[in-house]
Structure 1
Amino acid sequence: MSGTIRRRDFFVETRDGVRIAIREVFDEAADVEARPMILMHGTRIPGLSEYDLDVPHGSLAADLAVRGHRCYIVDARGFGRSERPAEMDLPPTPTKPLVRTLEIVRDLEAAVDHLRDASGYSSVGLFGWGVGGTCVMAFAALWPEKASHLVLYNMVYGAAGGHPKFCHGSQWEDPARPGHFNRPQFGNYTFNAVDMLTRDWDRQIPIADKAAWRDPAIVKAFEQALIDGDPTAKDRDPPTYRSPNGMLEDLFLMGIGHKLVNANQVYAKVMIVRPEFDTLSQKDDMDALTADLINAEEVFCWEPGDTTHYILFDRPEHGRDAMLAEMEAFLAR
Structure 2
Amino acid sequence: MSQNIVVKGKQLVFEELRVATGTPGIDLYVRNKRPASLETFTAERTIVMVHGATFSSGSLYDVPFNGMSFIDFLAAAGYDVYALDVRGYGHSTRPAEMEQAADLSPPVVGTDIGLADLGTVVDYVLKRRQLDKVSVFGMSWGGTVAGAYTSRNNDKVHKLVLLAPQWLSDRPIPIDTGGRLDAWRLVPVRESKARWLSTAPEHGRASLVPEGWFEQWADFTLAEDPWSRERAPHQLRASNGPIQDIRDYWRAGRKYYEPAEIRVPVLLVHGEWDIDVPIDLAQSLFLELRNAPYRQWAEIGEATHLVLLEKNRLLAYQAIRDFYDRTFQEETGKR
TM norm. shorter chain > 0.5: yes
Match of 1:125 among 131, 135, 143: 135
Check conservation: 1:42, 1:128, Cα contact below 8 A: yes
Query: Runs of 5+ in structure 1 lacking a partner?
Result: 173-181
Q: Deviation string for 1:170-200 (max 9, x for gaps)?
A: 742xxxxxxxxx4xx3311111111354222
Match of 2:154 among 144, 165, 170: 144
Shift of 1:238: 3.5
Which residue of the partner structure matches residue 270 of structure 1? 266
Q: Deviation string for 1:24-59 (max 9, x for gaps)?
A: 111214699652111111011011001111332651
Which residue of the partner structure matches residue 249 of structure 1? 244
Shift of 1:257: 2.4
Q: Secondary structure at the match of 1:4?
A: strand
Shift of 1:211: 5.8
Change (3 A) 1:233 1:213: same
Which residue of the partner structure matches residue 157 of structure 1? 167
What count of residue pairs does the alignment treat as equivalent? 315
Distance 1:9 1:39 in 2: 14
The 5 Å alignment of 1:299-318 reads 299-315=295-311
Match of 2:318 among 287, 305, 325: 325
- What is the letter of the counterpart of residue 223 of structure 2? D
Which residue of the partner structure matches residue 199 of structure 1? 194
Change (3 A) 1:113 1:196: farther
Which residue of the partner structure matches residue 116 of structure 2? 106
Q: Please state if 1:14 is matched with 2:10.
A: no
Check conservation: 2:19, 2:121, Cα contact below 8 A: yes
User: Quick one: percent identity of the two aligned structures?
Assistant: 23
Q: Please state if 1:116 is matched with 2:109.
A: no
Distance 2:39 2:303 in 1: 31
Distance 1:190 1:129 in 2: 20
TM-score by length of 1: 0.87
Q: Please state if 1:223 is matched with 2:218.
A: yes
Check conservation: 1:102, 1:138, Cα contact below 8 A: no
Check conservation: 1:53, 1:225, Cα contact below 8 A: yes
Which residue of the partner structure matches residue 49 of structure 2? 39
Which residue of the partner structure matches residue 81 of structure 1? 91
Q: Secondary structure at the match of 1:48?
A: helix
Check conservation: 2:272, 2:279, Cα contact below 8 A: no
Distance 2:93 2:232 in 1: 24
Distance 1:291 1:48 in 2: 31
Shift of 1:263: 0.7
Distance 1:328 1:30 in 2: 17
Shift of 1:127: 1.1
- What is the letter of the counterpart of residue 319 of structure 2? E
Distance 2:201 2:177 in 1: 26
Which residue of the partner structure matches residue 177 of structure 1? none
Distance 2:245 2:128 in 1: 32
Q: Secondary structure at the match of 1:303?
A: strand
TM-score by length of 2: 0.86
Distance 1:63 1:30 in 2: 15
Shift of 1:207: 5.4
Check conservation: 1:32, 1:68, Cα contact below 8 A: no
Q: Deviation string for 1:255-303 (max 9, x for gaps)?
A: 3422111111111111111111001112332232122222212111222
- What is the letter of the counterpart of residue 227 of structure 1? L
- What is the letter of the counterpart of residue 126 of structure 2? R
Match of 1:213 among 187, 197, 208: 208
Q: Deviation string for 1:210-252 (max 9, x for gaps)?
A: 5633223321221112211112111135331111110122234
Change (3 A) 1:19 1:298: same
Check conservation: 1:47, 1:80, Cα contact below 8 A: yes
